[in-house]
A = this chain, B = another copy of it.
């Protein structure tokens, strides 16, 4: 009866008073490195799907790859008593930041490795991914293969780079430092990589980029330079960004990039489920969990057989 009257009067119980009293807010903070990179919203949707079904509200914050913002936002969320924190592709961090999380609520890392063994991690199988790509290219006859790395402060970038070198060694292909180009997951980084390749005067038959945007930037620069893809040089991406959704941007004169598909949504749902388990205490705090999601190779139109000779207007082989 009283409840009815209350409702008529438009009464709403205060979530913050309840949170203050119970020390639980039924909210989860999600920190994302760059909200304009389409793979992250997709991961967030997966997280949201799992957690909002259980009555948790997600607060999404964009750190813009900025360590200061990262610290400030994590602080703010912790001070607002979020019950948990999910860090999607956050930068490797200062001791100060790690200390903050140490005393904080349960924390799950997605996509980039946690610095702290107490925290959970979910990510794609980068080793398998690189193996698939190298297999594909080597099978096409490529030996001089370049690599465009991701941002230097990303654990994913160093992982992929590491596995790339390992896969080459496994096959007895010498690793040449001049074949490595520093990228940053943007198209511009891919263009710079192409410019460096020209500058260094090296002759590659294939290049693996750390994500699709780098690959597209590289392709764009190569085409502007008069090269044909994949006839002159094969290029691979990573993420399968095109499959993310119904949206598509920045058309280029190619049909599709050979790339690695990773299930962004599954990364999110797994992270959400891990969080639920941390929240209900059904797993010991000292027992870190890891989930590694398998990936798949998507062969499209940017990879082909390696050319026998030099690929860029040098002397023709006899």
Question: Interface on A for B, CB 8 Å cutoff?
Answer: 10, 12-17, 19-20, 25, 27, 35-38, 41-42, 44-45, 48, 52, 57-62, 64, 69, 73, 75-76, 78-81, 99, 103, 186-188, 212-213, 216, 241-242, 244-257
Contact = CB atoms under 8 A, between A and B. Distances in A.
Given A16-B19, A44-B62, A57-B76, A249 B253 contact: no
A12 B19 CA distance: 16
Contacts of A251: 216, 242, 250-257
A13 B79 contact: yes
A121 B254 CA distance: 40
A73 B27 CA distance: 11
A103 B186 CA distance: 44
Contact of A80 (B16, B38, B58): B16
Contacts of A76: 15, 27, 57
Contact of A16 (B25, B36, B73, B242): B25
B12 A20 contact: no
Contact of A10 (B25, B42, B103): B103
Given A60-B61, A248-B250, A81 B45 contact: no
Contacts of A255: 251-253
B12 A79 contact: yes
A226 to B, nearest CB: 16
24 contacts: A10-B99, A15-B79, A16-B20, A16-B79, A20-B20, A27-B76, A35-B44, A35-B60, A36-B38, A36-B45, A37-B245, A37-B247, A38-B249, A45-B64, A57-B76, A57-B80, A58-B61, A60-B62, A187-B247, A241-B249, A248-B250, A249-B250, A251-B256, A253-B255
Residues of A contacting B: mostly: mixed
A247 B81 contact: no
A273 to B, nearest CB: 19
B242 A249 contact: yes
Contacts of A59: 59-61
Contacts of A41: 35-36, 41, 62
Contacts of A80: 15-16, 25, 27, 57
Contacts of A25: 16, 80
Residue with the highest number of chain B CB atoms closer than 10 Å, among A36, A41, A42, A245: A36
A101 to B, nearest CB: 12
Contact of A248 (B60, B187, B256): B187
Contacts of A81: 14-16
A14 to B, nearest CB: 6
